Amino acid sequence: MSSRKALFYALLGAATVGLSEFLAAWRAWRAAGGLGHVAQVILLGLGLLGAGLWLGFLLYEVDRAAGRVRRPIGLYEWIIARRGRVHHPEARRPARGHQPADLPGLSLHHSGRGRG
């Protein structure tokens, strides 16, 4: 089993258990209130969000490699581009006078469409 597949199943298991814990903490907070329950709900919620994003990234990366991505997701494309620069140090900085490539959904340049 590849390490990526093992990571996927570990994250899926953690997200499943985490969801159960999150819902139990939510019920406890709604029943009793208190700052401790609020902190637990927030931390478990952030953990679930992180696990969900990571699971989505792993699935996106596999689908992208297989050519099954119809609409690129800007956040995941940005992560893939950053990982590519880490693996290829010569690509970290653009040459003097050159601008880095725009990623779909993350461009800060005006498109010229719509109101200006």
Q: What is the pLDDT of residues 69-114, one digit of tens each?
A: 999 999 999 999 998 876 655 544 555 555 555 555 544 444 555 5
Alpha carbon distance 34, 26 (integer Å): 11
Alpha carbon distance 83, 19 (integer Å): 29
Condensed to tens digits (0 to 9), the pLDDT of residues 3-34 reads: 889 999 999 999 999 999 999 999 999 999 89
Condensed to tens digits (0 to 9), the pLDDT of residues 32-60 reads: 989 999 999 999 999 999 999 999 999 99
* pTM (global) more than 0.75: no
Locate tokens 């093992």: which residue?
Answer: 6
If residue 91 lies in a helix (H) or strand (E), which one and from where to where? Answer: none
